[in-house]
Structure 1
Amino acid sequence: MSIYQHFRPEEHAFIDHVLEWKEYALHSYSPKLTDFLDPREQQIVTSIIGSSTDVVVQFFGGADYVERKRALLYPSYYTPETDDYSIKLFEIDYPHKFVNIEHPQVLGSLMSLGLKRSKFGDILAEEQQIQIIVAKEVADYILMNLQSIGKAKIKLIEKDLSAIIHIAESWKEESCTVSSMRLDVIVAEAFNLSRSKASPLINAGLVKVNWKKVEETAFECQEGDMISVRGYGRCKLTTIEGKTKRDKWRIKVTKSK
């Protein structure tokens, strides 16, 4: 039985990387540290490494509750420490009395430095306090080159990981029925939109499934998928319960409040 059949075709290339990481940790007798992975990628790594007795995987992204984490694959006899994950925390100092900085602006400014998204973790914001978690190997580069966000001049201040902002996200579960598992149908139902409004959002690249942009309205959603719509929030397709007598799908979605 092929390991690939359990995953979507677009995830096969990532699976190849995971298998390479596993081989490295197994045959080099040393840990293999990855870039930051989104929760879906972490799930794939966990399912592939799974119950392996030779190679173990742990994840860390600065705190237990953050979404994006680095994976450390290591031989079973190795004992990892926090330093092994090579993570740094910066707080953004900016004139908050005069300007407002939001998550998309921080993300855009970091991406404009020419870095891959996988080189930094969560962007945390609480009121006027903003922090970014980055890979240690690019920390000095970011420190030298990230000097403004939008029109605001900023300064990065390195903080100990113990000072990380704690953001608790609350979720609410809802049950509903849908005519199909198409992305446009699920988005419309989950966010109380019409199909005619949901479809343009998808076509415009404003919808992500499992942290990856999806622009096909007919994309088939699966149980466990995390769906986010820019400007509307996000939801998780937690359960597909089956068909009703009227041939509709009964599902449960969990929405962030």
Structure 2
Amino acid sequence: MDEQLFKKRLEELAQTAFMNSVYTHTPFLSEREQSLFHEMRQELSFADASLYGGHEDYDRCIVVFGSKEMFGYEGEIPLACAKISPLFKKFAETLTHRDYLGALMNLGIERNQIGDILISDGEAYVFCFRHMAEFLCRELTKVRNTQVETVGVDFKEIHYWQEYSTKDGFVSSPRLDALVGLAFGLSRSKALSLFQSQKVFIRGKMETRNSYQAKPEDVISVRGFGKFRFQELGRETKKGRFHVKLQIYK
């Protein structure tokens, strides 16, 4: 990704919205692209930007420029969702996120046209743009060796519950590197290297400060390892350590 070109594109979308009183939006952004947007958010504030991923704990999202306050009318969120279900559940394979993504890429779809893929009870929900949902309903009939049916659903009505495991332990402070180390069983030096290699994000914003004091409800993702929520900061022990609880996303 050319970061300067990406930032220029954000500026163009913001200016178009502001000058023409029309809503504009980006493709689906990766966490790195979201972080670049956050770096520019103040200078783009004239265009009232909002982020949408289709569900609360999104990894990928779009940025929409414009608001009812600016334009005097409500814009529609340009998102849709495609539900992928096996035609014959009894004979269906156990499909992974990689399987579904591979099937989408095999249709010639660019990654920035697709948001998150959520898997629940043998079915998958693909967040995307409306025209892409229509395309998937027509064209996606097979994932690996499993015959599937793809239908459009209202993403606002999806009742998806994120599965997670709970992990607790003691840390010297709620520093981000300590929580990352606890979450994924990493040594202090390994956790530190993840910050140096720009792999740690909080709600889509890159965090390079390993000493950052995390707050309960922060959602932290580490590229190549996974994602977790800092659930609770507990009592301080007599030895000056803190009991913490984390939710590790599955």
What range describes the TM-score normalised by the shorter chain of this pair? 0.5 to 0.7
> Is the 2:14–2:44 contact (alpha carbons within 8 Å) kept by the matching residues of 1?
no
In the alignment, what sits opposite 1:242?
Answer: none
Distance 1:174 1:39 in 2: 28
Within 2, Cα distance between the matches of 1:16 and 1:52? 11
Deviations 1:35-54 (A, max 9, x none): 12234533432442337663
Q: Indicate which of 204, 224, 227 corresponds to 2:222.
A: 227
Q: Distance in 2 between matches of 1:86 and 1:148?
A: 26
Higher relative contact order (CA 8 A, sep 6+): 2
Does residue 34 of structure 2 align to residue 42 of structure 1?
A: yes
Q: Distance in 1 between matches of 2:11 and 2:139?
A: 35
- CA offset digits 1:145-174 (Å, max 9, x no partner): 211101111110221223313223557576
AA aligned opposite 2:123: Q
Distance 1:173 1:20, change over 3 A: farther
The corresponding residue for 2:150 is: 156
Q: Find the counterpart in structure 1 of residue 59 from structure 2.
A: 67
Out of 105, 114, 121, the residue aligned to residue 120 of structure 1 is 114
2:87 counterpart of 1:92: no
Match of 1:24 in 2: 16
Structure 2 residue matching 1:155: 3-state secondary structure? strand
Compute the TM-score of the two structures, normalised by the length of structure 1.
0.63
Structure 2 counterparts to residues 147-186 of structure 1, below 5 A: 147-168=141-162, 170=164
CA distance in 2, matches of 1:112, 1:221: 39
Give 5+ residue unaligned stretches, structure 1.
1-8, 211-219, 238-251
Task: Number of aligned residue pairs: give it.
Answer: 214
Q: 1:77 aligns with which of 70, 74, 86?
A: 70
Distance 1:106 1:17, change over 3 A: same
- Mapped to 2, the partners of 1:191 and 1:25 lie a distance apart of 42
Q: Which runs of 5+ in 2 are unaligned?
A: 202-207, 215-219, 231-243
Q: Could you tell me how far 1:123 is from its partner in structure 2?
A: 0.9
Quick one: which amino acid aligns to residue 32 of structure 1?
A: T
| 1:111 to partner: Cα distance | 1.4
RMSD over aligned CA atoms reads 4.2
TM-score by length of 2: 0.65
Q: Write the distance in 2 (CA, Å) between the matches of 1:133 and 1:127.
A: 17
Q: 1:139 aligns with which of 130, 133, 143?
A: 133
